[in-house]
Amino acid sequence: MTPVTWSASGDAPGKNRGLRVARTRVELERELAQLRSGGATVAFVPTMGFLHPGHLALLDRARELADRVVLSVFVNPLQFGPEEDLDRYPRSLGRDLELASARGAVLAFAPSVEEMYPGGPPRVRVHPGPGGELLCGAFRPGHFEGVLTAVARLFGLVRPDVAVFGRKDAQQVALVRQMVRDLELRVEIAVAPLVREMDGLAMSSRNAYLTPAERGSAPALFQALSAADMAFRGGEHRGAELEALVRRRLEASPEEGPDAPRLRLDYVQAVDSGTLDPVQAARPGHLLAAAGWIGETRLIDNVVLGADAPDPRVSMSGRET
C-alpha cells in the first residue's frame, strides 16, 4: 500500500491531478461516456466520504479490477435514523478528492441530496429481506433499506462493471450481493480486506468521534473477537460458546484500568458470511460479528474464523505493516 498522509479533519491542499468531479447527473453521464470510450471498464467505490486508509484499500482493489476507477462521495440520509448522527457525520470533500486522486481514481460523483433524490425521498425503495433484520438491522430499523436504495440508484447512474466494498461492513456486503442477484443488476461485487489501525481497531470514519480515553478502550472489541478466533483455532466450534467468550472478555476489567470507558455490546453473533444466518457449529470462513458502543460512538467489527491471512494494519500515516 502506497503511504499517504491521513488526518482527522480538514481539507487537503493542492490540485486533484487527473480526477474529474461530477456534481450532477448530467455531468456524471458526460464524464462516464468519455471514460468508457474505447471500451474501458469501470470499477466503482461508493463511499460517504471522510476517507481513511480502509477506503483507500478499496480504491487500490478497484484499480486492479478495471481500467478506470470511479468513486462516489455522498452522505446518504436514507440510512440514518431520526436520532442518529446525520448532521454531525464527518465531511471533508476537498481532502477526500485529493486522497482519491493520489490513489488512481479518475472520476468522483459528489451530488447534493437534492441531486441524488430530485423528487424528494424516493417512494420506491429496496427492501433488504430477512437478512436486513439481523445483526445491525435489529438495532437500526430501516438502515439497510436506505443503504440498498442508495446503492441501487448509484449502480443505475454509474453502471459499473465491478463495485468494491469493504469486509468491515460484512452485513452490507451480503445484502448488496443478494440484491444484485435477485434484481439481476449485472454488477460484479468485489470485497476488499478489513483494514485496521496499528492496535487492531477497525478503520472507520466514526473513529473521529472517540475521545482519547474512549480511543484507548476501543480496541477491546477486536481483542475479544481475536480471543474467540484463537479458541476456534484451538477446537472450540460451538457458536454460542464463541459468542460467550467475547462477552466475558468485554465484561472483564479493561487493561487501561477499572475507570476506563467500557464497550456496551449490542450483539455478538457467529453467522454464515453469505446468508447471515446464525450458526450453531462454526466452520472456517464463517464470521464472528459484533457491534457496540463506547460513549456515543457505535463500533462494528468482525473476524473471519480460521482465516489464513490476518487483516492488514495501517498507521495513521498510511503505512502498512
Q: What is the pTM of this model?
A: 0.91
Domain extent, residue 65, equals 20-192
Q: What is the per-residue pLDDT for 315?
A: 73
User: 186 and 253 share a domain?
Assistant: no
User: 52 and 175 share a domain?
Assistant: yes
Q: What is the per-residue pLDDT for 1?
A: 34
- 314, part of any domain: no
| CATH number of the domain bearing residue 284 | 3.30.1300.10
Residue 127 annotated in active site:
no
- 319, part of any domain: no
User: 282 and 158 share a domain?
Assistant: no
User: 127 and 40 share a domain?
Assistant: yes
User: 295 and 187 share a domain?
Assistant: no
Successive 10-residue mean pLDDT values, the chain, 321 residues:
35 59 98 95 98 97 98 98 94 97 98 96 96 96 97 98 97 98 97 96 96 95 97 98 97 70 95 96 98 96 94 72 45
Overall domain count for the chain? 2
Q: What is the per-residue pLDDT for 18?
A: 84
Strands (E), 57-204: 68-73, 107-109, 162-166, 188-192
Residue with cell 456486503: 173
- 188, part of any domain: yes
- 163, part of any domain: yes
User: 237 and 187 share a domain?
Assistant: no
Strands (E), the chain: 20-22, 42-47, 68-73, 107-109, 162-166, 188-192, 264-271, 287-294, 297-304
User: 165 and 44 share a domain?
Assistant: yes
User: 118 and 216 share a domain?
Assistant: no
| CATH number of the domain bearing residue 105 | 3.40.50.620
- Tally Cβ neighbours within 10 Å of residue 174: 25
Catalytic-role residue among 52, 55, 237, 286: 55
d(CA 123, CA 125): 6
- 170, part of any domain: yes
- 318, part of any domain: no
- 206, part of any domain: no
Domain boundary among 192, 225, 251: 192
Q: What is the per-residue pLDDT for 256?
A: 60
